[in-house]
Amino acid sequence: MLFDLFEGERSRLTLGVGAALLGGFARERADELISHIHDLSAQAPFRHMETRGGKRMSVAMLNCGPLGWVSDRSGYRYTASDPLTGKAWPAFPPLFLDLAARAAQEMGFQDFVPDACLINRYQPGARLSLHQDMDEQDHVAPIVSVSLGLPATFLWGGLHRNMRPARHQVFHGDVVVWGGPSRMIFHGVDVLKDGFHPATGTVRFNLTFRKVR
């Protein structure tokens, strides 16, 4: 299915079974989402985590919800508290849960209730290499990914890392959902280019909702 690659003029692109890019799905509530991100970052600051190999990730991260994803030399895992502050991760804003559930329902996943939301902040030059989300116990429930701010190139691969990924532009307010047979697809984000967006300035935010247990 083809559509115009201009922000505000797209609808839906099917990526696979149980997977699609929902163009502009979150645009009407984008300002509220960004306001919540700023509030959450005052409670659990953005930080650049380390990989198991000790490399600093180019994307800055924070979490909200009952569980948060963390990475350091000990490995990748979910925790109930922020290792930086020792406090529980900030609670979900109700809007986050509503948006995630509606996007999942749009793809046929009923009653989706995430227990983690990883918030990524991309600055120009940041990227997310091809990977599978494997640290969750539930590998069927969908991942719901919300793009805010600068446009980016979303990489959609296959079930093996060496499969060449398709490249899809994601704009402010776009939502990508993948679950069921597509849940373990390799995916990533190409290097973010310089730019300015009136809602976020020189950065891109991404909300990734997951059902861990």
- In this predicted model, what pLDDT tens digit does every residue of 134-144 receive, in sequence order? 999 999 999 99
CA 84 to chain centre: 21
What integer pLDDT is reported at residue 3 of this predicted model? 31
Per-residue confidence (pLDDT) for residue 102, from 0 to 100: 98
* CA 28, 89, 43, 208 torsion-angle sign: negative
Share of the chain above pLDDT 70, in %: 95
Q: For 24-44, what is the mean pLDDT?
A: 98
Where helices occur in 27-170 by DSSP H, the ranges are: 30-43, 94-106
Residue 116 predicted with pLDDT over 60: yes
Pseudo-torsion of CA 142, 93, 149, 210, nearest 10°?
Answer: -20
pLDDT per residue as tens digits for the range 173-211:
999 999 999 999 999 999 999 999 999 999 999 999 999
Residues above pLDDT 90, as percent of the chain: 93
Q: Does 7 score more than 80 pLDDT?
A: no
Domains within the chain, CATH numbers bracketed? 12-210 (2.60.120.590)
Cβ atoms of 104 and 112 within 8 Å: the answer is: yes
**Residue 24: which region, alpha, beta or left (left: phi > 0; alpha: psi -120 to 50)?**
left
Number of other residues whose CB lies within 10 A of the CB of residue 129: 12
Task: Provide the pLDDT for residue 34.
Answer: 98
Mean pLDDT, rounded, for 77-84: 96
Alpha carbon distance 23, 134 (integer Å): 26
Q: Closest by alpha carbon to 91, among 122, 119, 115, 125?
A: 115
Q: What would the mean pLDDT of 142-161 be, rounded to a whole number? A: 97
CA distance linking residue 6 with residue 190, whole number of Å: 18
Q: What mean pLDDT comes out for the span 68-89?
A: 95
- The arithmetic mean of pLDDT across residues 65-75, rounded, is 95
